[in-house]
Amino acid sequence: MNRINQKLQEDKKLLSIYFTAGYPNLGDTVSIIQDLEKNGVDMIEIGLPFSDPLADGPTIQESSTKAIRNGMTTHKLFEQLQGIRDTVSIPLLIMGYFNPILQYGVQEFCEKCQEIGIDGLIIPDLPVDVYNEKYKTIFEAHGLNNVFLITPQTSVERINFIDSVSNGFIYMVSSASVTGSSTGFSNDTREYFKRISEMKLKNPQVIGFGISDSESFQQATKFAKGAIIGSAFIKHLTNKGTSKIAEFVKNIR
Amino acid sequence: MSYQVNEKGYYGEFGGAYIPEMLYPNVEELRSQYLEIMKEESFQEEFKQLLKDYVGRPTPLYFAERFSKKYNTKVYLKREDLCHTGAHKVNNTIGQILMARRLGKTRIIAETGAGQHGVATATVCALMGMECIVYMGAIDIERQAPNVARMKMLGATVIPALSGSRTLKDATNEAIRDWINNPVDTHYIIGSVVGPHPYPDMVAKFQSVISEEIKTQLLEKEGRENPDYVVACVGGGSNAAGIYYHYLDKPEVGIIAVEAAGKGVFTGESAATSALGKEGIIHGSKTLLMQTEDGQITEPYSISAGLDYPGIGPMHANLFRTGRAEFISITDDDAMKAGLELSNLEGIIPAIETSHALAIFETRKFNEDDVVVINLSGRGDKDLNTYIEYFNL
């Protein structure tokens, strides 16, 4: 069974962390992953940097620009992750935009992910209908869960369709926003969390965007299986460097 | 086979809507309604009335006698430079603002490179009394001060794009992010035939008035609707889409697309996407774009700010891939010379974008009785500083 599906069966709220590969330094990727696991993080999204990340706010865009300047590429990332399964056992996902994956070759990309032990992909600009028609069989043949996003504006019909195509969890975007733009949830947002949790979808939901601290993590996971922190962690890396990861994780849980 | 968009939003293998889920409701709302709204009689009436009374259409189809004589062929100029605000861009912004009103939107956002589309958007927002926010690369804001001032006079808020390379592609990213953050009350007026479906088709349809008029005008002047060639410069490709539109599926009409070679196609400072680009995804569309081997989008270069977009619209990518259109690239130097030449021969100072299209006659030869229609997409006022510096005027 895929590590993501195993993890989702555990009786706990999951803390998932996103970071941009190659940031702050090109060679930080593996040690960041190891440190996050050591400090009790349940799942990691490894960001494959892209020059034009449409769904992201300034924090992730800047870290991506820096990572690319540091020399991060798809090939480089795969090279760094070679052997990661010798030391890391929690689920690992790659989150990135579709163009770099397309240039690498979707088939080749999936093969490489399987070889390394990547469990899932999050590709915000690969639409669910295109995935379903063209790529689903390739992803599944390589044991990869593809994770789709839903937002407060996503219709019930579409949520059900996304649920039917998904095979891990659904990434629930907390509000109509790019990443890193808000902290704290309004009543509307809590209503939306509640509404979705009451739909009793086949796939559990993990909430992302706008989760930055212990309070927002607690609030989000009242309604969902877990929550993802991205921009806040990147900011922490920017301000405190890679040696204070334990401090960041401890403050969330 | 048709060169128009198919029902799924593709031109051949190009196009589609590769957008994050956060944009899906906005784009889907537009996609499911744009054709019906455009067909409404009241929409058509209002659109045509504004094009006539406000924009000044139909624009003349002018036989450029001295220019023709020099190149020994028959050259007509479609005078989009005479449109209100100085370029074809306003055809699209008029159409889209009427669309936005019918969709119940109250707030307009746009991206702009050189500022022409920003000005055309700010203009129609003033006309309709709607809030207008224009995203513009921080570097372009410095380079294009007069257009920034125009937008401000027209009541628009100009927000600098500070991310990435701080030019047009980043301004487009910022506009898309704004739309993600404001999914209910906002319409995004894209300025070219780029972006997710239905934008390339919708913008092409609003610009198609250009070739629609040419058909009637040419019939009057030459006794036939179809020229032998239509020629336009291509950045994203909206003026080109407009002049090609009604001729796309008429094989007897040759289509010529002119890209900016910058300092030379292989100098590393170029915007010739068809020569340098590879298939990929930019701003929600599958098309040809300039990128690194790793799939990072690169920054193009051209002396003309309106042509330095790293992609081309999916319609044009398909015209290139299928061989339906002939693609030619023109360097900065050759374009500048052609701009000066048209000024001298015809008393018309063209935008530098347009000058690229005019420059093909030095190398691309036509028969004496060929009828060649060039889209004179914009006037050169905005480029005066560049002309002054280049020619030491």
Check pLDDT > 70 for residue A182. no
Q: Judge whether B28 lies within some domain.
A: yes
Q: Which chain B residue shows the shortest CA-CA distance from A71?
A: B294
Among candidate residues B80, B111, B174, B213, the one labeled active-site is B111
- pLDDT exceeds cutoff 80 at B233: yes
* Longest Cα–Cα distance in chain B: 56
ipTM here? 0.94
- Indicate whether B291 and B266 sit together in one domain: yes
Task: Please indicate whether, in this complex, the C-beta atoms of B295 and A61 are within 8 angstroms of each other.
Answer: no
State residue A186's pLDDT score: 86
- My answer on whether B99 and B199 are in the same domain is yes
Residue of B nearest to A209 (CA): B22
* Domain membership of residue B108 as a residue range: 12-50+89-203
Exposed, middle or buried by CB within 10 Å (0-12, 13-18, 19+), for A49? buried
Question: How many Å lie between the alpha carbon of A73 and the closest alpha carbon of chain B?
Answer: 6
Residue B296: DSSP 8-state: P
* Alpha-carbon gap, residue B72 to B368, rounded angstroms: 5
Quick one: pLDDT at residue B154? 98
Whether residue B219 sits in one domain with residue B196: no
Check whether residue B285 and residue B353 sit in a common domain: yes
Cis upstream peptide for A204 (omega within 30°): no
Among B93, B95, B88, B89, CA closest to B40 = B95
Element (H, E) at B150: helix B145-153
Residue B329 lies in a domain: yes
A204: phi then psi, degrees, rounded to nearest 5: -65, 160
What pLDDT shows up at residue B68? 98
pLDDT, tens digit (0-9, with 9 covering 90-100), for B45-99: 999 999 999 999 999 999 999 999 999 999 999 999 999 999 999 999 999 999 9
Give chain A positions within 8 Å (CB) of B284.
54, 125
Q: Is residue B67 part of a domain?
A: yes
- For residue A29, the 8-state DSSP code is H
Q: Is the pLDDT of residue A184 over 80?
A: no
Contact B163/A58, CB-based, under 8 Å?
yes
Contact B287, B310 (CB under 8 A): no
Q: Which two tokens stand for residue B309?
A: 């977009």
Q: Is B89 a catalytic residue?
A: yes
Q: Rounded to a whole number, what is the distance in Å from the CA of B135 to chain A's nearest CA?
A: 14
What percentage of chain B carries pLDDT values higher than 90? 94
**Which residues face B79 on adjacent strands?**
B376
Task: Looking at the complex, report in whole angstroms how far the Cα of residue B222 sits from the nearest Cα belonging to chain A.
Answer: 47
| Whether B189 and B263 share a structural domain | no
Does residue B168 share a domain with residue B280?
no
Give the model's pLDDT for residue A76.
Answer: 98
Q: Closest approach of chain B CAs to the CA of A56, in angstroms? A: 8
In chain B, DSSP assigns E strands to: 10-11, 14-15, 61-63, 74-79, 107-112, 131-137, 157-161, 186-189, 229-233, 254-262, 278-282, 285-289, 325-331, 371-376
Amino acid at A198: E
3-state secondary structure A103-137: HHCHHHHHHHHHHHCCCEEECCCCCHHHHHHHHHH
Helices (H), B232-383: 238-244, 273-276, 314-322, 332-346, 352-358
Mark whether B23 and B117 lie in a shared domain: yes
What average pLDDT does chain B have? 96
CA gap B295, B281 in Å, rounded: 9
Active site residue A45: yes
Of the pLDDT bands very low, low, confident and very high (cuts 50, 70, 90), residue B308 is confident
Which of A52-61, A94-103, B340-349 is least confident? A52-61
> Cis peptide leading into A24, omega within 30 of 0?
yes
Q: Which residue of A has its CA nearest to B286?
A: A99
Q: Which of A28, A35, A42, A45 is catalytic?
A: A45
Residue of A nearest to B293 (CA): A103
In a domain, B310, yes or no: yes
* Domain-embedded: residue B4: no
Residues of chain A found within 8 Å of residue B163, distances taken between Cβ atoms: 58, 61-62, 65
* Residue B153: strand pairing partners: none
From B375's Cα to the closest Cα of chain A, the distance in A is 32
Question: CA-to-CA distance for A59 and A65, rounded, in angstroms?
Answer: 10
Question: Cis ω on the peptide bond leading into residue A152 (within 30° of 0)?
Answer: no
Task: State the pLDDT confidence band at B2, using cuts at 50, 70 and 90.
Answer: very high
User: Are B132 and B233 members of one domain?
Assistant: no
Same domain membership, residue B268 and residue B178 = no
Cβ distance of A127 and B19 shorter than 8 Å: yes
Instruction: Examine the pLDDT at A180 and tell me if it is beyond 80.
Output: no
Distance (Å, whole) CA A206 – CA A149: 10
Cβ-based contacts of A65 with chain B (< 8 Å): 163-164
What does the block give as tokens for B320? 């290139």
Predicted confidence band of residue B175 (pLDDT cuts 50, 70, 90): very high
| From B68, B78, B80, B89, the catalytic residue | B89
- Token pair of B188, please? 């995004």
Instruction: State the number of CA atoms in the 13 A half-sphere of A86 facing the CB.
Output: 5
Query: For chain B, how many residues are written?
Result: 393
Q: Residue A183: is its pLDDT beyond 70?
A: no
Q: Which of B172, B203, B234 is the C-terminal boundary of a domain?
A: B203
Cβ-based contacts of A112 with chain B (< 8 Å): none
Binary contact (A55, B22; C-beta < 8 A): yes
* Closest C-alpha to B227, from B245, B251, B253, B249: B253
For B288, the 3-state DSSP assignment is strand
User: What count of other Cβ atoms lies within 10 Å of the Cβ of residue B226?
Assistant: 17
- Judged against a pLDDT cut of 80, whether residue A249 lies above it is answered with yes
Q: Looking at residue B52, what DSSP letter applies?
A: I
B197 has a chain A CB within 8 A of its CB: no
pLDDT digits (tens, 9 = 90+) for B265-305: 999 999 999 999 999 999 999 999 999 999 999 999 999 98
Q: Do B100 and B160 sit in the same domain of this protein?
A: yes
Structure-block tokens of residue B101: 């009103």
Reported as a single tens digit per residue, the pLDDT across A13-68 is 999 999 999 999 999 999 999 999 999 999 999 999 999 999 998 899 999 999 99
Q: Rounded to an integer, what distance in angstroms lies between the CA atom of residue B158 and that of residue B315? A: 30
Nearest-Cα distance to chain A for B95, in Å, is 26
DSSP state of A93: E
Q: Return the H-helix or E-strand segment holding B169.
A: helix B168-181
**Residue from B211, B274, B285, B377 carrying the catalytic annotation:** B377
CATH number listed for the domain at residues A13-252 = 3.20.20.70
pLDDT at B212: 98
pLDDT for residue B165: 79
B315 within 8 A of B3, measured Cβ to Cβ: yes
How confident is the model over B4-19, as pLDDT tens digits?
999 999 999 999 999 9
Is B179 inside any structural domain? Answer: yes
Q: Do A55 and B180 touch (CB under 8 A)?
A: yes
Which tens digits make up the pLDDT trace of B152-173? 999 999 999 988 778 898 999 9
Q: Which of B24, B180, B297 sits opposite A177 (nearest CB)?
A: B180
Predicted confidence (pLDDT) per residue in B362-382, tens digit: 999 999 999 999 999 999 999
Residues from chain A contacting residue B181 (CB–CB below 8 Å): 176-178, 181
| pLDDT band, residue B150 (cuts 50/70/90) | very high
- Put simply, the answer to whether A150 touches B293 (Cβ < 8 Å) is no
Minimal Cβ distance to A173: which of B22, B278, B291: B22
Tell me the two tokens of residue B125. Answer: 């927002």
Domain with residue B335: its CATH number is 3.40.50.1100
Query: Testing the interface with B: which of A153, A161, A196 to mutate, by most B Cβ within 10 A?
Result: A153
CA–CA gap between residue A77 and residue B264 (Å, rounded): 34
For tokens 């010739």, name the residue: B272
The residues pairing with A230 across neighbouring beta strands, listed in sequence order, are none
Six token digits for residue A1: 């069974």
Q: How many domains does chain B have?
A: 2
What are the boundaries of each domain within chain A? Answer: 13-252
DSSP strands (E only) in chain A: 14-20, 43-48, 92-96, 120-122, 145-147, 149-150, 170-173, 205-208, 226-229
Residues B120 and B219 in one domain: no
Q: Is B293 in contact with A153 (Cβ distance < 8 A)?
A: no
pTM value is 0.96
Do residues B306 and B241 both lie within one domain? yes
